[in-house]
Structure 1
């Protein structure tokens, strides 16, 4: 086997660090199983592309692209779009929960103010 190039070693190191970080997050309950599995699959694909860069050209031609780099860019854009949608949905959910909490606190404070006025 040929020796690995510098970028291939860097990709391997980054992948190992990322998988370890996701494993720690999963162990601590900060991420769910599906996110953990998807992230491991993602980093395995990155490692495969890093070690066998010519494979992207082969897969790209099967899918209909001329070059492997075109396929990688399109997949990266799709992935980033997915992340943006997911983050936006999470923000909407957090905003909704925050609004409900603020309303509940406001109602509770109004009720306690009414009780204080009745006592005086």
Structure 2
């Protein structure tokens, strides 16, 4: 048995437990916890049964299992970056709105400066 076949399942279990604790403390949503748990379960399964990735690869028309895993990781990374972009964009819009409201509330007129 290869070393990664032992290390990745252990890392997967630790990651799932960590996400479960974060969910119980209210730091993660249920959806996020489930999504990451599924990801880490898939990592553990592919590390324990590496030939299984070949079967999945052939089902989607890819020749090698490693290519399938790399494409899957790129899809996950693209989704994560896109989601983070939308979150940052929304935060930036919210911040601009708040700054405009504060500026309007604290507006200094010329009459105020003369007194």
User: Which of structure 1's runs of 4+ aligned residues deviate more than 2 A?
Assistant: none
1:20-53 Cα shifts (integer Å, max 9, x gaps): 2211221122211111111111111110001000
The answer to whether the aligner puts 1:117 opposite 2:93 as a matched pair is no
Unaligned ranges ≥5, structure 1 = none
Task: Write the mapping of 1:17-56 to structure 2, written as runs, cut at 5 A.
Answer: 17-56=14-53
- Aligned partner of 1:69 in structure 2 is 66
- Normalised TM-score (structure 1): 0.85
- SS of match in other structure, 1:66: coil
Aligned residues: 113
**1:9 correspondence with 2:1:** no
TM-fit CA distance, 1:65: 1.1
Q: Partner of 1:97 in structure 2?
A: 94
User: What is the CA distance between 1:91 and its match in structure 2?
Assistant: 0.6
1:38-73 residue CA offsets vs partner (Å, 9 max, x unmatched) = 111111111000100000011111221111011111
TM normalised by structure 2 equals 0.88
User: Where does the alignment leave 5 or more consecutive residues of structure 2 unmatched?
Assistant: none
Structure 1 Cα separation of the partners of residues 68 and 99 of structure 2: 46
Match of 2:76 among 76, 79, 92: 79
Alignment RMSD = 1.8
